[in-house]
Amino acid sequence: MTFDKTELKVNPENEELYKTFLPKVEKYRQALKDGILEEYKLPDELLPKSVGVDVTKIPEQVLSKKEVYITELKAVDLAAQIAKGELSSVEVFRAYAKRATMAHQLTNCAMELFMDEGLKRAGELDDYLATNGKTVGALHGVPVSLKEHYDYKGKVTHAGYVGLIDNVSESTNQCVQILYDAGAVFYIRTTEPQLLMHLCSNNNITGIARNPNNTALTTGGSSSGEGAIAAMKGSALGVGSDIGGSIRAPASFCGVWGLRPTQKRVPMLPITPAGSGVQELIVPVLGPLARSAEDLELFMKVELGSKPWETDATLIPVPWRDVAVPEPKQLKVAVCYDDGVVKPTPPILRGLEAAAKKLKEAGVKVVEWKAFNVQECVTAAYDGYNADANKKQLSLLKLSGEPVLPLSKHILNSGCGFEGLSVYDYQNDAGIRDGTRTAYLEQMNELDVDFILSPVYSSVAPLPETCHYWGYTNLWNLLDFPNVIFPTGLKCDPAIDKPDSSYVPRNDTEKYEHELYDDAAKFAGAPISLQLTGKRWFDEELVKASQVVAHIIAK
Amino acid sequence: MTFDKTELKVNPENEELYKTFLPKVEKYRQALKDGILEEYKLPDELLPKSVGVDVTKIPEQVLSKKEVYITELKAVDLAAQIAKGELSSVEVFRAYAKRATMAHQLTNCAMELFMDEGLKRAGELDDYLATNGKTVGALHGVPVSLKEHYDYKGKVTHAGYVGLIDNVSESTNQCVQILYDAGAVFYIRTTEPQLLMHLCSNNNITGIARNPNNTALTTGGSSSGEGAIAAMKGSALGVGSDIGGSIRAPASFCGVWGLRPTQKRVPMLPITPAGSGVQELIVPVLGPLARSAEDLELFMKVELGSKPWETDATLIPVPWRDVAVPEPKQLKVAVCYDDGVVKPTPPILRGLEAAAKKLKEAGVKVVEWKAFNVQECVTAAYDGYNADANKKQLSLLKLSGEPVLPLSKHILNSGCGFEGLSVYDYQNDAGIRDGTRTAYLEQMNELDVDFILSPVYSSVAPLPETCHYWGYTNLWNLLDFPNVIFPTGLKCDPAIDKPDSSYVPRNDTEKYEHELYDDAAKFAGAPISLQLTGKRWFDEELVKASQVVAHIIAK
C-alpha cells in the first residue's frame, strides 16, 4: 500500500482498499442526515437553491422571538439567566438545537448531531438546579459545540480520516470533560478538513462546509464547522484547535471571535489521531470560538479554574488572572500592514486603516509594526508540520487509501515536505523560533507597545480549496504569542475593495494569493476581521484589550 | 579534519591543529596560576602531598576566627549582616577570597580567578551602602561563584572546549547579570568537563577537579568546580547548570545543596557554546549550588524577582511564590530504593533506609515509590543529547583537534550515538517523555504523595573518569520534575558499607557500576546525599519541604 509521493494520487491498490470503506462512509453520512430532527429543522423551502448567499438571517424567519433572544445572548449572560432561573436549560437547548440544525442544513457544518442527548442533559440540569438550588458550574445549561477532533467517550472520533471512521473513543478529552463538568450541554460535533491541515474545510466524509456570510466562500479551517456554527449562532460557545490558524481562520472568515491561547495552559488530551510522537517545534493548542471577548474569557476561566495541571503534567500551572478592562488611553498597539511576504488585499488594508484611525481617535497609542524574520519563521512552521517526512500523516491516509485532497497535497509538500528534516535542522528551526520570540518581545519593548494588530490572512474568506498562505497565523503559532480574532463590523464591498492590478508581487506565494482576489464581487459580504496579538503568557491582558479594541473599531 | 567516529582518537591532522592551540592552553593555565594571589593563598606546606585526603578543614588552619565565622554563614544571613552594616562587603570578600583561593589550590576547582575585580566591586558596594544608606539588592556583597559556562562580557568563555579558548564573550548571561544587579560579587569562574557532559570533571585545559571530602574521588560534573567550592565554603552561593545531573552530581558527591529548578523559570542565555540550534527533547536549566535550602530559595527569589520574562520570551512568567515551611506531619514522601536499572550501592541504601526511618519517626508519611519506565526515559534522555548525530559536539571538538577524553567517548556513544535520530524517532521520544510525565504525576496522586526521595547516583562519589550511569538524575531532566540535593550528614564508612558480592547484576550497566564499588575503603568519607523531587512547576513547595526533610534526616 503506497502513495506516489509527488502525485499523492489514488493508486489501484488504494482504490481497492478505499472501496471497502465507502459503505462505512455512506452509513456515517446517513447517520448525520438522520440527526436532523423534524422538530428542529428548517423547512426545505427556506433552503437556498444556489451558493453565494448570506444565510445568517434565515433561521430568524422561523424562530420565535424568545428563541432569537436566547440565541443572541452572550454565553456569560445566558449562563447568568439560567443560573437565576430566568431561562430553563431545556428552553435554551431547544432554541440552540433549532439554530444548530439549521446551521448545518445551510452550511454543512456538522459531523455528528445528537440532539436527543443534549435535550436529556438539559432536562437533568434543570432538575439539578430545581433540587439543589444551585448550578453544577459556570456553564450550567450553556450549549457548546465541539470540533469532532476531540475524543468523546463512546462516540466515533475520526478527525476527518476515513481510515478512522470506526474509531470509538475510550475516554473523553480533558478540555471537553471540564466544560461538561461545568454544566455545558453537548449536541453537535463539527467538521474539519482532511489531515486537519487546511485553512479550509474539505474531507472525504462530509465534504466542504460553507461560509454563512457568503456560501460560495470557505468557512476556513481546520475548525471549519466551529466558524460556521458560531456565525449562525448555533452554539453559545465552541471549542476549536490551532496549530497554524485553525481557530483563527474560521473565526476570521466567518466573522466571529476566536482565541488562540498561549500553549500548555488549556488541556488537550486525548485527541484523535493519537500517535505516539510529540511534535514540539510548533505546538497545537485548544481554544474557544465565541461571539464576544467575555465568552472567550469564560472558557479560559472554566478550563483553568479546574486546575487541569493537577492531573496533566504537560501543562503549566498558571491560573487565569483577573485583570481590569483597560481604558483606551492605556492601550498601546503596533499595527502590521504587511508581513513582507504577502501584502494584504484591499478589504484587509481598508480594515486595518479604519481600525488604526479609530483607535487613534479614541486615545489609543498606535504605531507601525515592522515585520521581520517572517519568511524564516513561516518556513520553520511548515517544517514543523512535515518534519517527520509526513510519515504519520501518510500512515493515517494509508489506513483507507482515501483520495488525497488538493489542499492536503499542498500542505504535505510545504516546508521540508516529503524530505523531512534531520534533527540538526529541526533544532536549528527551534533556534530560529526562540531567537525570534525574544526579538519580537524586544521590538515590542522598544516600541513600547503591548499588542500587535495584524491581518489574519492576506485576504477575506477565499473560495474553497484555494487558501495557501498561512503566514499571518502560523507565525504566531511558532512564536506562541497569543491571539484574539474579532470582527470589525466591516464586510468586503465590491464597490470599494477593488483589486489593485498595478501591484507587482514580490514572490510566487504573493502572486498566487493576489491572483485569488481577482474580482471583489466574488467575496461580497465576507467579514473583515483582524487579529490582536499579545505577549506570550499574557492571555488575560490580551482578551481584555481585545474587548476594548474591537468595541472602538466596530463603533 | 575528521574524527574517527568509533575510536574518537586524535588523528594526525588533528595533532597538527592541536599543536597550534597548546601555547594558548599554556598561557591560560599560567593566568590561572597567576590568579592565586599571595595575600589569599594557602602556604605550600599545608598542601597535602598525596590524594585520598579530606581537605575541607585545611583552610581553617590559617583563617582567622572572624573569617571562619563569615564563611560559615548562610548566604541569607551573610546578606542580612552586610545590609545591617554588621559586616562590610570588603571584609566578607577577603574571607571568601582566601577560602576560594585555597579551595582551588586544594581541589583545582577554578578556571579563572579575578580577585582584584572582586575586591574592587566589594569596595564599591561598601561605598554605595555608606552613601545611600541602602543596599543595591538582596545579594549586596555576597560572594558568588560561577561555572565558566556562562557568557561574561569581556572575559574568555570556552566552556571546556580548547577550540574556544580565544572566545571573548560580548555580553553577560542574563542569570549572572541579575545576580550582579542584586549586589553579588564575582571573583571566580569554576571548572567543567569536556563537552560539559561528564558527571565528572576532566577537560584538556585545566584537567580534573578533586573532591574536597576525599581527593582521590571526583567532584562530579559538569558543574564540577561549583561542587568543590561550595563544599570548601569558597563562595556563599554558586551557579551551575544541569541537563543530565550537572548540578546534582557535584552537589551530591561534594556534600552540598543543589536545586535543579523546573525548566524555563531561570534565564539561561547567552551561554557558550552558542550554536544556532535548540535541543528541546531534554532541556538544560541553570540553578544554584549552596549550603542550605534557604540559600537555594534566595537564588530563585532574586532571579524571578527580576521578572526576566519581560525581556526573554522563552521564559514562563511564573513568579516565585512564598510558601510556608511545612510541618513534618504535612509531608508525604515516596522513597525510591531502586530504579530497576542500577540498584544503589550499600552506602546509598543505608542513607535511604536511615532517612525513611527518621522521616517516619518524625511523623512524615512515607511510602515506597515504584519506579517505572526508567529505562525508556533514560534512553530517550541520552537520545536527546546525541539526536543530531553529535554534529554540534564534533564541530566544537574539531575546532582544535583536541583529544577526546574517555567520558566524552562514553557519552558520544550513548543513546542513539553517532547514528543520531530521525525526527520521527525524536518525536516518539518526546511522546515517551510526555506520557511518563503524566503517568508519574498520576502515581504521585494515587500514592497521595507530594515528593519522591531517591538516590542521586547509584553510589557515592566515584573515582575520576568512571561514572557512566546518569539514570537517577537524567530521568528527572527528561520529565522536568524539579529536584533538591541535600547531604544526609552520613558519609561512606568502609566498616559498614561493604560491597554486596552476592548481588547478581540485572544488566551490563548495573554490572559496570557495581564493579566500580569493589572496595568501600576507596570511598571513605564520601558524602551520602539524597535527592528530593517535587511536582513539575512546584519548586517552591519542594525547596521548603527539602529544608524540613534534610533537617529531620541530619538530626
Q: Which residues contact B27 (CB under 8 A, 6 or more apart)?
A: none
**In chain A, which residues have their Cβ closer than 8 Å to the Cβ of B310?**
441, 445
Structural domain boundaries enclosing A130: 35-320
Three-class secondary structure of residue A418 per DSSP: helix
- CA–CA separation, A101 vs A113, rounded Å? 8
**In chain A, which residues have their Cβ closer than 8 Å to the Cβ of B320?**
none
**In chain A, which residues have their Cβ closer than 8 Å to the Cβ of B389?**
422-424
Give pLDDT, residue A276: 78
> Does residue B379 fall inside a structural domain?
no
- CA–CA separation, A478 vs A457, rounded Å? 16
Look at the alpha carbons of A543, A549, A553, A554 in this order and tell me if their dihedral is positive or negative.
positive
B427–A310 C-beta distance less than 8 A: no
A278–B431 C-beta distance less than 8 A: yes
Q: Which residues of A are catalytic?
A: 147, 222, 246
Query: Which has the closest alpha carbon to B187: B221, B138, B234?
Result: B234
Instruction: Judge whether B350 and B528 are in contact, CB under 8 Å.
Output: yes
DSSP single-letter state for residue B40 = T
> Does residue A374 fall inside a structural domain?
no
| Interface contact B443, partner A, CB < 8 A | no
Closest CB to A276 among B313, B431, B440: B431
Three-class secondary structure of residue B37 per DSSP: coil
Give pLDDT, residue A3: 55
- Residue B126 to chain A, least CA–CA distance (Å): 34
Give pLDDT, residue B1: 45
Residues in chain B, pLDDT under 70: 1-10
pLDDT, tens digit (0-9, with 9 covering 90-100), for A119-160: 999 999 999 999 999 999 999 999 999 999 999 999 999 999
pLDDT, tens digit (0-9, with 9 covering 90-100), for A241-262: 999 999 999 999 999 999 999 9
Give pLDDT, residue A14: 84
Closest CB to B388 among A387, A423, A537: A423
Annotated binding site of A: 196, 222, 243-246
> Does residue B529 fall inside a structural domain?
no
Residue A223 pLDDT > 90: yes
Confidence band, pLDDT 50/70/90 cuts, at residue A275: confident
Query: Which has the closest alpha carbon to A235: A138, A122, A108, A143?
Result: A143
> Does residue B341 fall inside a structural domain?
no
Give pLDDT, residue B275: 76
pLDDT, tens digit (0-9, with 9 covering 90-100), for A228-242: 999 999 999 999 999
| Interface contact B418, partner A, CB < 8 A | no
**Can you tell me which residue has the cell 582551588?**
B104
Q: What is the CA radius of gyration of chain A?
A: 22
Return residues 445-464 of B near A (CB < 8 Å).
445
| Interface contact A535, partner B, CB < 8 A | yes
Chain B nearest-CA residue for A312: B438
| Interface contact A316, partner B, CB < 8 A | yes
- Residue A173 to chain B, least CA–CA distance (Å): 15
Confidence band, pLDDT 50/70/90 cuts, at residue A1: very low
- CA–CA separation, A145 vs A189, rounded Å? 6
Is B498 an active-site residue?
no
State the CB neighbour count (10 A cutoff) for residue A496: 11
**In chain A, which residues have their Cβ closer than 8 Å to the Cβ of B304?**
none
Task: Name the domain count of chain B.
Answer: 1
β-bridge pairing A143-147 and A237-242: parallel
> Does residue B222 fall inside a structural domain?
yes
A423–B426 C-beta distance less than 8 A: yes
| Interface contact A537, partner B, CB < 8 A | yes
C-alpha cell, B460: 557515592
Three-class secondary structure of residue B179 per DSSP: helix
Closest CB to A536 among B313, B422, B538: B313
**In chain B, which residues have their Cβ closer than 8 Å to the Cβ of A423?**
387-389, 420-423, 426
C-alpha cell, A282: 510548533
What are the DSSP calls for B303-341, one per residue?
A: HHHT-GGGT-TTS---PPPP-PPPPGGG-EEEE-S--SS
Look at the alpha carbons of B197, B203, B204, B205 in this order and tell me if their dihedral is positive or negative.
positive
Determine the distance from the C-alpha atom of residue A2 to the mean position of all C-alpha atoms in its chain, rounded to a whole number. Answer: 32
Instruction: Judge whether B43 and B58 are in contact, CB under 8 Å.
Output: no
Give pLDDT, residue A8: 64
Going from the C-alpha of A223 to that of each of A488, B4, B396, the distances in angstroms are: 21, 52, 46
**In chain A, which residues have their Cβ closer than 8 Å to the Cβ of B421?**
423
**In chain B, which residues have their Cβ closer than 8 Å to the Cβ of A445?**
310-311
Give pLDDT, residue B81: 98
Three-class secondary structure of residue B106 per DSSP: helix
**In chain A, which residues have their Cβ closer than 8 Å to the Cβ of B318?**
316-318
- When pLDDT is averaged across residues A54-59 and rounded to a whole number, the result is 98
Give me the catalytic one of B169, B222, B414, B459.
B222
Instruction: Judge whether A404 and A305 are in contact, CB under 8 Å.
Output: no
Q: Which residues contact A414 (CB under 8 A, 6 or more apart)?
A: A382, A385, A386
Q: What is the CATH number of the domain that holds A152?
A: 3.90.1300.10
Give pLDDT, residue A6: 56
| Interface contact A424, partner B, CB < 8 A | yes
Instruction: Judge whether B37 and B73 are in contact, CB under 8 Å.
Output: no
Going from the C-alpha of B485 to that of each of A301, A536, B218, B554, the distances in angstroms are: 37, 32, 17, 13
pTM for the complete prediction? 0.96
| Interface contact B437, partner A, CB < 8 A | yes
Mutation test of the interface with chain B: which of A423, A432, A433, A449, choosing the one with the most B Cβ atoms within 10 A? A423
Give pLDDT, residue A75: 98
B428–A277 C-beta distance less than 8 A: yes
Q: In the sheet where A237-242 sits, what is the strand order?
A: A110-113, A185-190, A143-147, A237-242, A285-290, A257-260, A483-491, A527-533, A451-454, A332-335, A365-368
Closest CB to B420 among A278, A311, A423: A423
B423–A420 C-beta distance less than 8 A: yes
Residue A9 pLDDT > 80: no
What are the phi and psi torsion angles at B185 (to 5°)? -110, 125
> Does residue B404 fall inside a structural domain?
no
Annotated binding site of B for substrate: 196, 222, 243-246
Residue A197 pLDDT > 80: yes
Chain A nearest-CA residue for B393: A424
**In chain B, which residues have their Cβ closer than 8 Å to the Cβ of A310?**
441, 445
Residue A5 pLDDT > 70: no
| Interface contact A186, partner B, CB < 8 A | no
Closest CB to A431 among B278, B535, B537: B278
Mutation test of the interface with chain A: which of B314, B427, B440, B479, choosing the one with the most A Cβ atoms within 10 A? B427
pLDDT, tens digit (0-9, with 9 covering 90-100), for A98-110: 999 999 999 999 9
Return residues 11-30 of A near B (CB < 8 Å).
none
Chain B nearest-CA residue for A434: B314
**How many contacts (CB atoms, under 8 Å) link A and B?**
125
Residue ranges in A138-240 assigned as alpha helix (H): 174-181, 224-231
| Interface contact A117, partner B, CB < 8 A | no
Q: Which residues contact A43 (CB under 8 A, 6 or more apart)?
A: A62
B312–A438 C-beta distance less than 8 A: yes
- Residue B426 to chain A, least CA–CA distance (Å): 8
> Does residue A131 fall inside a structural domain?
yes
> Does residue A439 fall inside a structural domain?
no
Give pLDDT, residue B11: 74
